[in-house]
Amino acid sequence: MSFDLSEEAERQLELRYTLAVEVAKRYIQAGFVVVYQDIVIGKALQEIVWAFRAYQLSVVVLCPRPEIIAERDQARRKTGYPNRASIDAFDHILRSETPHIGYWFDNSDVSIAETVDAILSHLKLAPLNGKDRE
């Protein structure tokens, strides 16, 4: 995926979102607690939130600084961004075109465990103990 999506790429992305929403709804209907995790930026976030309007929903947006995203991406075996310009473009869309709904958390300077604890605290859920994080 790039930021200049072809018509076919847009169609595939919309299908991915639609299928993920439908699967999440099926699990909810079966009595499961569901965490739907995806990269959703721009107007698509509001559309996905709307798709869950009949359900209790908490939206969490992780928004680390672009330089941190670049560092993390470089440390991975498989990178998600072709270059720093694409990270900056993604960040611009996230911060300027994505509806500011839900809990936005800049996890630039915290560990994964601290990120989880911050989210659980925001949702008023008990923090996980170290054994549950594996």
Are 52 and 36 in the same domain? yes
| Structural domain boundaries enclosing 24 | 1-57
Are 19 and 82 in the same domain? no
CA distance 65 to 109: 9
3-state secondary structure of 126: coil
pLDDT, residue 133, reads 43
The pTM of this model reads 0.83
Helices within the chain (DSSP H only): 7-29, 44-51, 66-75, 84-97, 112-122
Are 68 and 47 in the same domain? no
Q: Are 104 and 40 in contact (CB under 8 A)?
A: no
Q: What is the pLDDT along the chain (134 residues), one digit of tens a residue?
A: 566 778 898 899 999 999 999 999 999 999 999 999 999 999 999 999 999 999 999 999 999 999 999 999 999 888 888 889 999 999 999 999 999 999 999 999 999 999 999 999 999 876 655 544 44
Residues in Cβ contact with 47 at an 8 Å cutoff, skipping those fewer than 6 apart: 17
Last residue of a domain, one of 9, 37, 57: 57
Closest alpha carbon to 84 in 68, 63, 98, 95:
68
Number of domains in the chain: 2
DSSP assignment of 65-95: -HHHHHHHHHHSSS-S-SSHHHHHHHHHHHH
Q: Are 34 and 27 in contact (CB under 8 A)?
A: yes
Cβ count within 10 A of residue 95: 13
